[in-house]
Amino acid sequence: MSKIHLVLQGKGGVGKSLISAIIAQFKKFQQENITCIDTDPVNSTFASYKHLNVKTIKIIENDEINTRSFDTLIELIAQTECDVIVDNGASSFVPLSSYIIQNSIADIIQELGHELIVHTVITGGQAQADTLHGFVSLINQYPDNCLFVVWLNPYWGAIEAEGKSFENMKAYIVNKERISAVITLPTLKKETFGRDFEDMLRDKKTFDESINDESLTIMNRQRLKMLKTEIFKTIASAAII
């Protein structure tokens, strides 16, 4: 059964495209064929990763779903035998979610023989409350035949509230039966691993591209290799991806 990985979060700039790119790279590392799609009508960051051969489908027009473009997306999913990774922008979060729910898209995907996995990201810092709200909104709106993976991104600070980690927050405890996996991205030392990772993201390069880039120093490449290994090991332990 192929998996349709849909990356959603109503808050912008929290790492959705990063998550999409990481999932795609992990799949390639596993020697799997994949189809990558960027539906963000404003910032096509995912599509900027040339090495991932991302298709762009603009499913939003004048703040509404372009039904013909969405039909194209569904037809692509129907015809594929490989996993599909779809990155969606914050600006289209509400109309896309509404369209998916109102038209029972999860049921259609299931009938096509695929499994729908919704990935969402929660960050620390100022966006924590908004990303938590986005996560709860997804859980409450999407049907039971959708699986959920939560990604914790500590780039802007620790993900905690009143001394409680995510797994001890009410948002998680109430909804944990719907969550198939929680994946925590590593906290990086800004002067070393953090800087190397940021440079890689800025240049829209994959881990492999950067690791094989001889213009980087030996230690730049070694740190990225170690980081890739750590992140992929965490994903592998989640099993669902």
Domains of the chain by start residue, with CATH: 2-185 (3.40.50.300)
- What is the dihedral sign for C-alpha 141, 148, 172, 123? negative
Write out the two tokens for 131: 């990303």
Alpha helices, DSSP H only, in the chain? 16-29, 67-79, 93-102, 105-111, 128-141, 170-175, 195-202, 207-211, 218-238
Reported as a pLDDT band with limits 50, 70 and 90, residue 43 is confident
Query: Length of the chain, please?
Result: 241
**Strand, helix or coil at 63?**
coil
Q: What are the pLDDT digits (tens) for 171-196?
A: 999 999 999 999 999 999 999 999 99
- What burial class does residue 99 get, using C-beta atoms within 10 Å of its C-beta: 0-12 exposed, 13-18 middle, 19+ buried? middle
Cβ-Cβ contacts under 8 Å for 154 (sequence gap 6 or more): 123, 124, 184, 185, 186, 187
Region of residue 120 (phi > 0: left; psi between -120 and 50: alpha; otherwise: beta): beta
Whole-number Å distance between alpha carbons of 31 and 83:
12
Q: Which two tokens stand for residue 97?
A: 């979610």
**Distance of alpha carbon 53 from alpha carbon 50, whole angstroms:** 5
- Please name which of 33, 145, 27 lies closest in space to residue 80, comparing C-alpha atoms: 33
Q: Is the pLDDT of residue 61 over 90?
A: no
Q: Provide the pLDDT for residue 133.
A: 94
According to the model, what pLDDT value does residue 221 have? 97
Contact criterion met (CB below 8 Å) for 64 and 95: yes
Average pLDDT over residues 129-155: 94
Please identify which residue in the block is written with the tokens 């709860």: 136
Q: Given this model, what pLDDT does residue 41 score? A: 75
